[in-house]
Structures are given as structure tokens and as C-alpha cells.
């Protein structure tokens, strides 16, 4: 009888241990599934962003999951060599030229790890307030090099009030999403430069004193400056310049 009781207790311990193992495995699988779903959702949200402002707002929403994390700041250089700081405040994005010289070459080079690299000093001078330790995320810029050349660069800065050990989950989170952050930032920076270049081109084109038009093979006016339309109206080029109808 004692042997049966001992055997029964042993079996109960095995069953209990295996049940706990199964429960732990189930919880781990659920956590992995949730993590994967969140990652896919993040990719989808980033892929449909239409501006750098939306980019930061999506990232800001993700950062709220972590304690002691401040607003994200994006520092990037325009084709005219101005350095811009874009950040989110009270749900709104604000953009302003950096108030001091910023040497991107002194920042972590492309492909380096995410970490604390002293960006808080630059942001503190720019915003006129003390900054906590700032997590720096170097962004790999490739498409945008068509405007900037090989020196194209951008960085994300995130203020963190916790110690490095407590910031480890945030580091892992950002490291897993670094490629998505790189690709989307590169696309949006390129689109931003195209818009700026198009605007400058239109201002220059419209500012010319002589009437100028671009026409197709059928002599339809495809594009013209303001002076052209002031003098002629929207007609075929031979109607405007020679008074002919065909």
C-alpha cells in the first residue's frame, strides 16, 4: 500500500510538472504570436505613412508602451545643407532648423548599433532645456543620396529617463524595427526632397520675365509660366504666337 501511495505521489508530481511546462509553453507561444502580430502591424502602419510627421507619430505611439521614454526627434540634412529637427509636441509635429552646427560625421556611422551617444547636448542647446540621456538611432540613407551625395545621413533621438539596464527592452524593440525605420525614413526623406525641389523649380520658372512654355508634338501647352498665360491664355502655341488656328 505504501509503495502504491509513493508511486501515486510520484505520478502526481510528474503530471503537475508537465502541466506547468505545457502552460508555460502556451504562454510563451501566445507572447511570440502577439509580438509577431504587433511587428506586422507596425510595418503596415509605417508603409502607408505619407510624411515625416506621420512617421514620428506612428513611432511615438509605439514608444508609449515603455516607461520613462520621451518624444522622438528626427534630425536630417536638406539638399541645401540646412539641418532640420523634427519632433512631436502635444500630438503635433514641429519642424525647425537646428540652431547650431551639426556634424553628422561625428555621429555613429551607418550600420552601427543603437545606443547612447551624447545627442542630448545638441538637443538641449536647440530646445533650451535640459535633456535626459538620449538614445541615438543612426538611419541608413541610400535613396536620398541622389540629392545629398554619399554624405546623406539622418538620426533619430529618443529621450530616456531610465538607466541603461531598464532601457534594454526598448533597445531590443528598436533594434528589431531598425530596418523598417531605415527604409521608411529614406523613402519619406526622398519624397520630401522631391517636393522641395519641385517647389523651387516652379518658383524659378514662374519668376522668369519672358513667356516660356513646354509643348507636345501636337503643339498643346503642357506647362507654362505665369508670364506666358498672362500674355496668351491657354491656347496652342501657334495660336498664341502666330495667330493661326491650324
pLDDT tens per residue, range 30-80? 778 888 889 999 999 999 999 999 999 999 999 998 988 988 999 988 777
Confidence of residue 221 (pLDDT cuts 50, 70, 90): confident
Bridge-based pairing of strands 115-116 and 133-139 is antiparallel
Has residue 109 got a pLDDT over 50?
A: no
With a CB cutoff of 8 Å and minimum separation 6, the contacts of 69 are 63, 158, 159, 160, 161, 162, 170
Identify the CA nearest to 231 among candidates 212, 244, 217, 214.
212
* C-alpha cell at position 19: 502541466
Calculate what percentage of the chain has a pLDDT beyond 90: 16
* Residue 233 pLDDT exceeds 70: no
Dist. CA 130–CA 127, nearest whole Å: 8
CA distance 147 to 150: 9
Predicted confidence (pLDDT) per residue in 179-203, tens digit:
899 899 989 988 887 877 776 667 7
Other CB atoms within 10 A of residue 139 CB: 22
Q: Give 74-107 pLDDT, tens digit per residue.
A: 998 877 778 889 988 777 778 899 877 776 655 5
For the segment 156-178, what is each residue's pLDDT rounded down to a tens digit?
Answer: 999 888 887 888 888 889 988 98
Measure CA 221 to chain center: 39
Q: Which residues contact 151 (CB under 8 A, 6 or more apart)?
A: 104, 105
pLDDT tens digit sequence for 22-37: 777 777 777 788 888 8
Rounded CA-CA distance 125/103 in Å is: 15
Contacts of 209 (CB under 8 A, 6+ apart): 227
pLDDT averaged over every residue in the chain: 78
- What does the H/E/C string look like for 118-181? CHHHHHHHHHCCCCCEEEEEEECCCCCHHHHCCCCCEEEEEEECCCCCCCHHHHHHHHHCHHHH
Task: Examine the pLDDT at 110 and tell me if it is beyond 50.
Answer: no
**In a 3-state reduction of DSSP, which class is residue 239?**
helix
Amino acid at each position: 500500500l505504501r509503495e502504491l501511495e509513493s508511486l501515486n505521489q510520484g505520478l502526481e508530481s510528474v503530471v503537475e510538472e508537465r502541466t506547468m511546462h505545457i502552460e508555460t509553453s502556451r504562454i510563451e507561444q501566445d507572447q511570440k504570436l502577439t509580438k509577431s502580430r504587433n511587428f506586422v502591424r507596425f510595418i503596415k502602419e509605417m508603409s502607408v505613412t505619407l510624411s515625416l510627421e506621420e512617421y514620428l507619430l506612428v513611432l511615438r505611439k509605439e514608444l508609449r508602451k515603455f516607461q520613462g521614454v520621451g518624444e522622438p526627434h528626427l534630425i536630417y540634412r536638406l539638399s541645401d545643407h540646412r539641418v532640420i529637427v523634427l519632433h512631436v509636441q502635444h500630438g503635433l509635429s514641429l519642424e525647425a532648423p537646428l540652431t547650431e552646427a551639426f556634424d553628422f560625421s561625428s555621429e555613429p556611422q551607418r550600420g552601427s548599433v543603437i545606443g547612447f551617444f551624447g545627442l542630448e547636448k545638441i538637443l538641449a542647446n536647440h530646445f533650451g532645456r535640459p535633456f535626459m540621456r538620449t538614445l541615438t538611432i543612426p538611419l541608413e540613407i541610400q535613396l536620398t543620396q541622389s540629392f545629398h551625395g554619399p554624405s546623406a545621413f539622418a538620426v533619430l533621438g529618443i529621450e530616456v529617463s531610465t538607466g541603461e539596464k531598464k532601457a534594454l527592452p526598448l533597445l531590443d524593440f528598436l533594434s528589431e524595427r531598425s530596418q523598417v525605420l531605415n527604409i521608411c525614413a529614406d523613402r519619406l526623406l526622398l519624397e520630401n526632397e522631391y517636393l522641395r525641389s519641385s517647389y523651387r523649380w516652379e518658383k524659378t520658372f514662374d519668376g522668369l520675365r519672358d513667356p516660356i512654355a513646354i509643348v507636345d508634338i501636337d503643339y498643346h501647352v503642357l506647362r507654362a509660366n505665369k508670364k506666358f498665360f498672362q500674355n496668351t491664355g491657354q491656347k496652342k502655341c501657334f495660336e498664341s504666337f502666330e495667330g493661326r488656328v491650324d
